[in-house]
Chains A and B, each alone.
Chain A
Amino acid sequence: MTELVEEQKIENKYDAIVIGSGNGGLAAAAKLAKEGVKVLLLEQHNLPGGFATSFVRGRFEFEASLHELADYGPKSNRGGIRKLFEDQFNLDAEFVCVPEAYKLILTDPEEHMEIALPFGIDEFIDTIEKEVPGSRESVRNFFNLAKEIRAAFGYIASTQGKPDQGVLMKEYTNFLKTAAYSVKEVQDALGIPEKARKILNAYWCYLGLPENRINFTLFASMVLVYIDKGGWIPVNRSHGYTTALDASIREFGGDINYNTKVEKILVKERQVVGVETSYGDRIETSHIVCNASPTLAYNQLIYPKSEVPEFAFKEVNARIHGLSGFCVYLGLDATVEELGLKEYSYFIMDDMDTEAVYESWKKLEAPRGQATVVINNAIPDCSPPGTSMMYITTLFKPDAWKDVKPEDYVKTKNQIAEKLIDHFEEATGAPIKEHIEEIEVTTPETYARYTGTYKGIIYGYEPESWDSLVPRLMSMGKDQYIKGLRFCGGFGRRVHGYSSSLSDGYTVALLTLQDIKKGGAEE
């Protein structure tokens, strides 16, 4: 054990401690502090945000991971996240809408397609109809179904996981009928033409499961939110709003300590009693909001180990650990006009065989698909005059990287990066390579290093139907094995993603507030 630096001791008792300052942890800490709870947010890294951050290389400040924030929306059609930021957190951060939904490019000669999709449900449906005549009605049905599903989620969340079955049966029948099925199964039933599906399902990579495995309700809900409210990004990269959240937490009276890793969650008789940090602090608390995954908490953090119930290990082992990422960040010494790049978001895949693309993520070679963002097409002055910034993103099952030796690491990641750049150049015709002024390549190793997440996973547990949003929400109340310990974030109830994690953090703060009240009443 490390010896405590006496003179730098922090307070030793808090009403609540939040472990980790990712999206979930920040939202939870902000809400708890706002409600007057004496809360301490502990973060191992020297910055807030987890994945929601930025980094500087040369003349460029790169976005670390966000492509677009869902459920933010314009002032006239505010989404849940905008409401959270404006009404709850009084957040000092600016966001802009990205110009279009996405450009989908399929590069396989036999499947070749190139189509740009706008935001707005009607415009989106029109664009698909133009490319695939006769698809209108089935795609419209997809969106109507998505709206019913989203309304149902709102209802379930409002009942804290205990919905009235009668209300569900009456109001949200279609939600019930599709809740257990995959995207493929429901889209078959909707009779959406194959080509229209390829266009409609391009967002699949944000959830990271092929069409035959991804739960329909989750996917439909996500597509609806993007197309209806647009995709939004913070003007100063994600660090812009996560630093603003830090400021709000402090303003509400919360305490934050960076560079402070929680080594142990102290548990006594299945009740949280405190934490121990990398500095040797022992801090008492009865309430922990854990932004680290259940995987890490149960396997590494809870102390003593005998306090981890067998069922918790089983739960972690039953669930399927999701994907990690791979990203090529490029600072280019040419403008988007010079490069001929018009769109913000490019989905480039050999074809829309999502199973095959998913399979390619298991091998240590250049994957068959990428999602690439050209940030200047949303924020023109985000880099110096005459330059532009883009990042090519793809995914990997982390174990694809498990046998890489340190001395081969750079060569391995550069080979993959180069192929992804080549694929982008071939698909768009933009001459990228000759303009690279700064380049950084991140892999599962990088994500493990900076966030400490298990195997560098950037998406939480895979949301197949059996473990998707619906059963997770409906298990609320039955999934807490240690009193005072609640989880939030990408491995949380609302499944991974920025806006899901933020909402989840907020919900978990509300649940913790109830716990605190109950606890107070008992005393």
Chain B
Amino acid sequence: MNGKDYKKVDITIKSNTKDIYAFTKLVPNRIKRIKKASNEPLTEDPIKDLAQKLHPLRQYLKINQIIDNTKTTKTFRFVPDNERGTKQLAYFRAGQYLSLKVEINDEWITRPYSISSSPNESLEGFYDITIKKEEEDGFLTPYIWKNWKVGTKVISSGPEGFIYYEPLRDKKHILGLAGGSGITPFRSIAKAIAEGEIDANLTLLYGCSDEDDIIFYDELKQLEKDNPDKIKVILVLSCEVVSLTGCETGFLTAELMEKYADVSNCSIFICGPQIMYEFVEKELERFNLPPKQIRIECFGEIKNISAFSGFPKEKVDKTFNIAVHIGGETKKIPAISTESILVALERAKLAPPSKCRSGECGFCRSLLLDGDVYISPISDWRREADKKFNYIHTCSSYPISDLELIIPRKQNRDF
């Protein structure tokens, strides 16, 4: 050892004897204090209670009402399923989504759906989830159409997602760009403005490709009428024949945005199908807005992954094998390169945890032991160290070779 690197200080706090005595009494005094304390268990934790109210791990819901919006769109009104333990619904920020967990033929799948009712209405005891029947989505929405009735029990996550008005960041004026069923979070935001929950103005450009697909239009127009200084709704129809009056025709172009809003002084919120993002993003380039003014709702799994320039063309629609380690088990499952690994895992009934299905929330984070995946830069939200240590979000990763993977276990039977 190299000896002491310090000079001994001459210090006395009370007196030499008292100081040493105080030291010798430290442990006995501690024991004395403990002996004197209460032996009652601590049963309350109001902070954890608040956390559970705001962010329940799961919510047990029951369909209380089904509203037909159009031929292809229904709104399901959910109330708490008291019997299964959900007494009150989690409060949320207008614009957020719920991840619904649905069991179809023994296979658990999740889908994120924006809440279309207002935060205030969750205090009154309900959430509205508005769902459009998607032919391309294969089996989920047809299943819902056929099977969901008043009384059907559904499991959901707590409220999730980041497309909400944040007064410390956003401009006082929101320019909403909605496409098709992407209108749902804006219904919630518009109601929250009308109810005084959000102190901001909303100009909403609502693009639809078919008059039959328009949802909530009358209701939104009523909100506009009741709050003329705060809410403005403009329908933009891209169909050939337009019978409605008082709406714009064509697409959500820069000209239209300029016509209805002082774009450079707006926060732009975008929600709609993937093709609409691609279109609108190009239109927005004209305004040269800083990124902070453009908020994009995550849009679910990428549908045309092979169209991305980095995707190896020779791997399109190839099937690979994945060796999946889950708990103490290893399973071999097939996976198609153009479908996310999460979909392959769900098909194999492994049902790992997932929420956003957009690469964003990281709930499906898994360790890639071997093989290559393609991840589009637009849905790669991984942490830096996760990239370094080969962790992937299975909902935004596509297999381009055989893989070996460790995934989290399914969250027991209930979820």
Q: Which residues of B contact A200 (CB under 8 A)?
A: none
Chain B residues, CB < 8 A from A298: 41
Q: Are B37 and A439 in contact (CB under 8 A)?
A: no
In this complex, the member of B90, B353, B408, B414 whose beta carbon has the largest number of chain A beta carbons within 10 angstroms is B408
Q: Which of A15-23, A409-417, A493-501, A511-519 contacts B (4 or more CB under 8 A)?
A: A409-417
> A167 within 8 Å of B by Cβ?
no
Contact B383 A177 (CB under 8 A): no
Q: Is the CB of A2 within 8 A of B385?
A: no
Evaluate contact between B47 and A317: CB separation under 8 angstroms.
Answer: no
Q: Which residue of B lies closest to A259 (CB)?
A: B408
> Quick one: which of B34, B37, B363, B382 has the most chain A CB within 10 A?
B34
Per-position contact with B for A286-325: 1 when CB-CB < 8 Å, else 0? 0000000001001100000100101101111110000010
Chain A residues with CB under 8 A of B12: 177, 189
- Does residue B313 face the partner (Cβ distance < 8 Å to A)? no
Distance in angstroms between the alpha carbons of A403 and B27 in the assembled complex: 37
A406 and B119 CA atoms in complex are apart in Å by 11
Which of B70-78, B222-230, B242-250, B322-330 participates in binding chain A?
A: B322-330
- Which of B43, B51, B168, B363 is close to A436, meaning CB atoms less than 8 Å apart? B168
Question: In the complex, what residues of B have CB within 8 A of residue A446's CB?
Answer: 51
| B239 close to chain A: CB less than 8 A | no
Contact B45 A144 (CB under 8 A): no
Question: What residues of A have a CB within 8 angstroms of the CB of B43 in the complex?
Answer: 299
* Alpha-carbon distance between A189 and B87 when the two chains are bound, in angstroms: 59
A147→B6 contact, CB < 8 A: yes
B137 / chain A contacts, CB cutoff of 8 Å: none
**Given A257-B409, A470-B26 in contact, is the A317-B42 Cβ separation under 8 Å?**
yes
**Nearest CB of chain A from residue B60's CB, rounded to whole Å:** 14
Tell me if B166 counts as interface (CB < 8 A to partner A).
yes
Using a Cβ–Cβ cut-off of 8 Å, how many residues does chain B contribute to the interface with A? 76
CA distance A107 to B414 in the complex (A): 54
Is B286 engaged at the interface, CB distance under 8 Å to the other chain?
A: no
Partner among B23, B40, B45, B410 whose Cβ is within 8 Å of the Cβ of A317: B40
Whole-angstrom CA separation of A466 from B25 in the bound complex? 9
Task: Indicate if B85 sits at the interface (CB-CB under 8 A).
Answer: no
When distances are taken between beta carbons in the complex, the residues of chain A under 8 Å from B29 are 466, 471
Report if A195 contacts B (CB, 8 A): no
| Residue with the greatest number of chain A CB neighbours at <10 A, chosen from B7, B40, B43 | B7
Does B179 reach chain A (CB closer than 8 Å)?
no
CB pair B327–A8 under 8 Å, yes or no, is: yes
Asked if residues B38 and A279 are in contact (CB atoms below 8 Å), the reply is no
A278 at the interface (CB under 8 A from B): yes
Q: Mark B355-394, 1 if CB is under 8 A from A, else 0.
A: 0000000110100000000000000011111101101000
Q: For residue B67, which residues in chain A have a CB less than 8 angstroms away from its CB?
A: none
- A-contacting residues, B52-72, CB 8 Å: 53-55
Chain B stretch 298-328: residues in CB contact (< 8 A) with chain A: 326-328
Task: Indicate if the CB atoms of B388 and A179 lie closer than 8 Å.
Answer: no
A437 at the interface (CB under 8 A from B): yes
Beta-carbon nearest neighbor of B389 in chain A: A243
Contact A2 B412 (CB under 8 A): yes
Interface centre among A180, A311, A315 (most CB of B within 10 A): A180
A504 at the interface (CB under 8 A from B): no
Query: In this assembly, does B146 line the interface, its C-beta being within 8 Å of a C-beta of chain A?
Result: no
Q: Is A372 an interface residue (CB 8 A)?
A: no
Cα distance A244–B43 in the bound complex, in angstroms: 37
CA distance A466 to B37 in the complex (A): 14
In the complex, A467 has a CB within 8 A of chain B: yes
Asked if A185 lies at the interface with its beta carbon under 8 angstroms from chain B, I say yes
Given contacts A174-B9, A259-B353, A314-B38, contact A465 B26 (CB under 8 A): yes
Interface segment, one of A30-38, A53-61, A343-351: A53-61
Residues 260-303 of chain A, each 1 if its beta carbon lies under 8 Å from chain B, else 0: 10000000000000000011100000000000000100110000
Question: By the criterion CB–CB under 8 Å, are B329 and A407 in contact?
Answer: no
Task: Check B50 for interface membership: any CB of A closer than 8 A.
Answer: yes
Segment touching A, from B13-21, B212-220, B253-261, B268-276: B13-21
Residue in B27, B36, B291 whose beta carbon sits within 8 Å of that of A59 in the complex: B291
Bound-state Cα–Cα, A439 to B169, Å? 7
Q: Assess whether A428 is interfacial by the CB under 8 Å rule.
A: no
B282 adjacent to chain A (CB < 8 Å)? no
Q: Which residue of B lies closest to A449 (CB)?
A: B51
Which residue of chain B is the closest to A142 with respect to CB atoms? B9
Is A97's CB within 8 Å of the partner chain B? no
Using Cβ atoms and an 8 Å threshold, which residues of chain A touch B35?
311, 314
Q: Determine if A47 and B384 form an interchain contact, defined as CB atoms under 8 angstroms apart.
A: no
Task: Verify if B162 is at the interface (C-beta below 8 Å from A).
Answer: yes
Residue of chain B at shortest CB distance from A180 = B22
A4 at the interface (CB under 8 A from B): yes
A residues in contact with B362, CB < 8 Å: 46-47, 56
Are the C-beta atoms of B385 and A236 separated by less than 8 Å?
Answer: yes
Q: Say whether A46 contacts B353, CB under 8 Å.
A: yes
| Residue contact B9 to A144, C-beta cutoff 8 Å | yes
Residue of B nearest to A141 (CB): B9
B5 at the binding interface (Cβ < 8 Å):
yes
Which of A173, A299, A324 is the one whose CB lies under 8 Å from B47?
A324
In the complex the two chains form, is B384's CB within 8 Å of A240's CB?
A: yes
B50–A445 CB distance below 8 A: yes
Q: Is the CB of B91 within 8 A of A448?
A: no
Using known A-B contacts A8-B326, A179-B26, A180-B22, determine if residue A141 contacts B51 with beta carbons closer than 8 Å: no
* Complex partner residue of B23 from A4, A179, A436, CB under 8 angstroms: A179
Query: Within the complex, which residue of A8, A181, A437 is in contact with B169, where a contact is CB–CB below 8 Å?
Result: A437
Contact B329–A237 (Cβ < 8 Å): no
Residues of chain B within 8 A of A243, CB atoms compared = 383, 385-386, 388-389, 391
Return chain A residues, CB-CB under 8 Å to B386: 239, 243
Q: Is the beta-carbon distance between A317 and B39 smaller than 8 angstroms? A: yes
Q: Which chain A residues have a beta carbon within 8 Å of chain B's beta carbons?
A: 2-5, 7-11, 46-47, 54-59, 61, 93, 141, 143-145, 147-148, 151, 169, 173-174, 176-181, 185-186, 189-190, 236-237, 239-240, 243-244, 246-247, 257-260, 278-280, 295, 298-299, 305, 308, 310-311, 313-318, 324, 333, 398-399, 401-404, 406-407, 409-410, 414, 417-418, 421, 433, 435-439, 444-446, 448-449, 452, 454-456, 465-467, 470-471, 474-475
Q: Which 9 A-B pairs have the closest CB atoms?
A: A180-B22, A147-B6, A318-B37, A437-B292, A8-B327, A402-B46, A177-B19, A449-B51, A406-B91
12 contacts between A and B (CB under 8 A): A2-B412, A3-B412, A141-B9, A177-B19, A180-B26, A186-B13, A259-B409, A278-B411, A317-B38, A317-B39, A444-B47, A448-B51
Sample of 16 more A-B contacts, CB < 8 Å, known A11-B328, A148-B6:
A144-B8, A147-B4, A151-B6, A177-B12, A179-B22, A185-B13, A243-B386, A299-B43, A313-B38, A314-B37, A401-B46, A437-B291, A439-B166, A455-B47, A470-B23, A471-B29
